[in-house]
Each structure stands twice: as structure tokens, then as C-alpha cells.
Copies of this chain bind each other. A is one copy, B any other.
Amino acid sequence: MSNIKIFCPATIANLNCGFDVMGLCLETIGDEMIFRKSPTKGIKITKITGAELPFEIDKNVAGVAALAILNNYEKDFNPVSFGIEIEIHKKIKTGSGIGSSAASAAGAVFGVNEILGKPYSKSELVHFAMKGEAIASGSEHADNVTPCLLGGFTLVRGYDPLDIIKIESPNELFAVVLHPHIEIKTSDARAVLEPMISLKNAIKQWGNLGGLIAGLYMKDYEIISRSLEDVIIEPLRKGLIPNFDKVKNSALKNGALGAGISGAGPSIFALCKGSSIAKNVAKAMENTYLKTNIPFDIHISKVNDEGVKII
């Protein structure tokens, strides 16, 4: 393939009980990227719309990720005789907490892999995408790039070695995401975390994570609902998000299975069974936030089982 356009979905990481390990993929929110073979060797970013991002390859999340896979390919297989031009059309707002940088990183490795003739599986691409993520967040992590690449619900079991697992899930799950237009600095979101936690709370959290994964496999919405609880991170971080409790409560009152902070915030997510409940929940969350003076946008999306794809 010498010319492709792809969709790079937004993602929700953590999912309350799965801090740093769980994530899910969205369907209605995502960036678009275009990849073209070019006669000039190397990676070149030719166009960026929707965000102010650097064109220098080594400073751009997509550039770094694209270079990581290209260099690795040349080491594993053959030198590449052509170059690849990339256009990045951002639709996911940076700093929204729904995997904006992960979409760029995952999109870049997916696109380059297609142009190279698919030498790597989607799972193998996670490793390269993490190199791009590191530019955005300062550390290589996989909790957004994994669901963006694989789709559905994913678990990062561990990093040594990198071990990613796609979790089977029921097909009626919808997410609502409310993105308040405020900035939470990554440093602030990290500073509120406690390096030590109580064993008692940790047991609650891993009981819930076990419940969430079992509930997804069993397609048992009640278990999923009871498991979507965060006794460790949410109490520390929710203060950074104005009206978090009100939005969460309005989601739960209107039938959401669970609600919480998407990634490091500020977006607030709710998980729902079926689109009609999701619409009611979105309306309730929206009404709650309209009472503040903070601008926001809101999205409803089915959980996207496919992940990044050619369009």
C-alpha cells in the first residue's frame, strides 16, 4: 500500500479499579492520519491540523513512534528504499485525558506498519507506540496505546516483559465522556498521588479489578457495575476536577454502570449498558455541567472492539 488514511480512536485508561493497567477504546472520537510513500527516505510530517504540534520528528509523538518502528524494521528485516510522509489531523483535544497522544503514537506505528506491508502484529506495535507516548508523558506507558491499537478492553499485565491482554467483553457497552475545558498539569495529577497505600485498600482495589475482568468475560453487567469502584486514586484526584462528584452521581442516578476519571482527567467517563441509557446519562451529565461556568464537550460512544483502522 502506498497511500492510506486511518482513524486513530480515543481511549479511556484506568477504568476506576484498573489504575495504570486497564483501558478501553472509543468509536466516535478519534484523529485521522494520512500516510504516503515518498521518494525521500525517512519520516516526514507534512501537515498538522487541529492542534499546535511540532513538525520536528524527534519532538513529535507520532514522529518518534513512526521512527521507532521504521528503525526496528530495518534492523529486523531490510533497509527501506523509500520514505513515509505523514499528515496528522487531530480531533482529540490534547490534555483531555482520553488518550490524545496515544492516538498519535498508535496511529503512527499502525500507518507505518501498513505501508511496510504489515510486518508486525497489532500487539507487537504496542512496544513502538510506547516510544512515542514517552515524548508526551515522560515515561513509556501502554495503558492508552494498547486499547487504541487492539480495540475493546485491554489489560497491561506488566512491563517486564511487556504483556498485554485483550479482554473479551459484551457488545452492548457504551461510554459517555464529559470533557471540561480546564487544564490539569500532568505534574499536578501526579503530585496528588500517594506513593504508599494501605494494604486494606489495595485488596479492595484488586478484588474489584478481578471482578471487572470476570464480569466482562461473563457478560454480567451487575458484577461489572459493582466492580467499577476506585478507592485509591479517585479520592486523591477528584478535587482537581470541578463538580466531579455531582457529574458522577448524576450518571449513576441515571443508570450508568459506573463513572470515574478518564485517565488522569479532566475528562469524566461513565460506562453504560446500551445506547438509550447512555443518551440519558449524557443528558444528565450535561445538565449538571451546564450549571457551572466551565465550557465542556460531551461524547457518546460504543466501545470500539476494532481499534485503529484504515478508513
Contacts and interface: CB of A to CB of B under 8 A. Distances in A.
Given A165-B223, A202-B202, 14 more contacts: A155-B207, A157-B207, A157-B210, A157-B223, A157-B227, A165-B211, A165-B214, A194-B199, A195-B198, A196-B197, A197-B197, A199-B232, A213-B217, A217-B217
A209 to B, nearest CB: 5
Interface in A73-104: none
Nearest to A21: B207
Given A193-B199, A198-B195, A155 B217 contact: no
A124 interface: no
A207 B165 CA distance: 10
Instruction: Report copies per complex.
Output: 2
Contact of A206 (B18, B195, B196, B199): B18
Contacts of A232: 199, 202
Contacts of A200: 195
A226 interface: yes
Give the contact-size bracket for chain A.
35 or more
A101 to B, nearest CB: 20
8 contacts: A20-B207, A21-B206, A163-B223, A165-B223, A202-B205, A206-B206, A209-B210, A213-B217
A204 interface: yes
A260 B83 CA distance: 52
Contacts of A208: 157-158
Given A196-B196, A196-B199, A21 B210 contact: yes
A241 interface: no
A207 B193 CA distance: 18
A18 B158 contact: no
Contacts of A199: 193-197, 232
A168 interface: yes
Interface of A: 17-22, 155-158, 163, 165, 167-168, 193-200, 202-211, 213-215, 217-218, 223, 226-227, 232
A157 B202 contact: no
Nearest to A233: B199
Contact of A209 (B163, B209, B215, B223): B209
Contacts of A223: 157, 163, 165
Contacts of A193: 199
Nearest to A197: B199
Contacts of A155: 207, 210-211, 214
A218 B223 CA distance: 19
Contacts of A168: 217-218
